[in-house]
Structure 1
């Protein structure tokens, strides 16, 4: 690992991915990930579904990632799409304090707007208040429709609630929103998709134009058409396109560590010099190996 670049994917939904993804990510140099709370493709119908999901983000999924040498963190929140079911949303809001203090929870998120409804605004503001009360970082989901207006509204509401822009990550940016986000002092994250939203070629041009300060690359890989290797692939394209290695390290590793590591829960020491993979471990008597011989690797990243 000494000469190999390391990457952090600070927005990837590994609950929806396979062990093959974990293996490929580790081989490509991904050492840490952040999994934001999000919706599962169809509406949840009861609060227990959220409770089990949040529990998996602080329990099973960190274990699963560890079996492939990747450190797993998450963000906890009520996503904007499901905020519109107010009867259920009220119950989810009551759940959040049970999870936000868990050791791998590095932010409140991903929260924000989808259709920019009154209900979405209500629960967005409630969660911003919780983040402010606890001094936590916030991860914002910007809407896919009417994105620029929704992004500006998201930032204005954060400022109304007295949040420090440097402690708020605005995600799902594109060329239309990046300047406004950076000019206001927020952190601009970009989700790289194979065919839609932001592609890695476009990401190269964003970094070429705006530099690497306060810019983060992530994959947002989930149950849809997406790529769990988007971060290392974009880094490689940046290097081949003449972007400096320093700028690649900042946008694909260091900026994410700095942004999400402010509360001390996410530390570089978690993957540097702390030992290797031990697949003989179990989680609630379960293994990911399905009968294969466990790999025990005591090599350390130095």
Structure 2
């Protein structure tokens, strides 16, 4: 086993697990806080306290968990993450045939849901043809033909990630086809905004949604930055922000955005994937907001309520999924597979779990 330099799976030195979470934006250590006049509650991930009004229940509404490890699920559960949403994603290299796409969608809808549940986290999906692969016309057409069958499966809360990458005519065609499908199936949409020429791509995406008369209150525009947030909110969309270490959006900047714009229709997510990213980005950002004096109810909105509000419109996601959960039984199998390896004792609960240590005030 490779030496990890004394770091846990999240990349946080074990020493800092007892001294406070490390900010993924600036590298500073986040210490226990008594913001807003509250004594705070224990933040299980790293001994960090956040105000009681902020709660310790979080949703990460954009997490590519197929890329992550079981250690990540365990850390997220300890930090109070009760649900994740996994959007359809690029694998890191081009898919070469429709079969690989179908197997991928089946995996995130099947085994990944099972795997998350083995650690007490509810797992949902967005399905779609991602914009990067829309430019392979033959593959794109095959995926669009198959997509309706996946979009109606259990646990699908939206179509996504949809949008632009190179902002090509082929991407535009595929985006419009999937908007029409979302309207037909009465599903919300999650939008990926392009990494290059982000402002133009974001404005163009919202214009296309308007042309199709898609309700902005049913659409999340993700990967926002300071250059896009004002117009996204002004046009009535949910504005999501991916908290990446040293890029896209850091939790220091995110805190200031909430301070300036308020919490309405703003969503914090990790977008954790196979690259340098942080599955604890949502609880860490909430903790920093508490330390910087953001009101508890506002933290609750951006790290829990707003995601539930928009993705709950699908009818496939409701709070009782995690506030009234079934017992965990790690002796169960998925198509003969277990999350455990030989000799590992399964976690088996004989009664329904108590959620008293996870609360929203």
TM-score range with shorter-chain normalisation?
over 0.9
User: Runs of 5+ in structure 2 lacking a partner?
Assistant: 1-40, 43-51, 357-361
TM-score where L is the length of structure 2: 0.82
How many corresponding residue pairs?
Answer: 302
Is residue 90 from structure 1 mapped to residue 177 from structure 2 by the alignment? no
Is residue 300 from structure 1 mapped to residue 354 from structure 2 by the alignment? yes
Aligned to 1:259: 310
Report if the CA contact (8 A) 1:275-1:300 is conserved.
Answer: no
CA distance in 2, matches of 1:135, 1:257: 16
Determine which of 63, 66, 91 is the counterpart of 1:40: 91
Q: SS state of the match for residue 139, structure 1?
A: strand
Q: SS state of the match for residue 99, structure 1?
A: helix
Is residue 129 from structure 1 mapped to residue 183 from structure 2 by the alignment? no
After TM superposition, the structure 1 = structure 2 runs for residues 241-256 of structure 1, keeping only pairs within 5 Å, are 241-256=292-307
TM-score where L is the length of structure 1: 0.98
What's the CA shift string for 1:150-191, capped at 9, x where partnerless? Answer: 001000100101100000100000000000000000000000
Aligned to 1:110: 161
User: Runs of 5+ in structure 1 lacking a partner?
Assistant: none
Is residue 79 from structure 1 mapped to residue 130 from structure 2 by the alignment? yes
User: Aligned-pair distance for 1:301?
Assistant: 1.6
Structure with higher Rg: it is 2
CA distance in 1, matches of 2:199, 2:173: 20
Kindly report the root-mean-square deviation, in angstroms, between the aligned alpha carbons of the 2 structures.
1.2
Aligned to 1:138: 189
User: Aligned-pair distance for 1:278?
Assistant: 1.4
Report if the CA contact (8 A) 1:73-1:104 is conserved.
Answer: yes
Q: Which runs of 4+ in 1 moved over 3 A?
A: 1-4
User: Aligned-pair distance for 1:147?
Assistant: 0.4
What's the CA shift string for 1:195-243, capped at 9, x where partnerless? Answer: 1110000000000000000000000000001000000000000000000
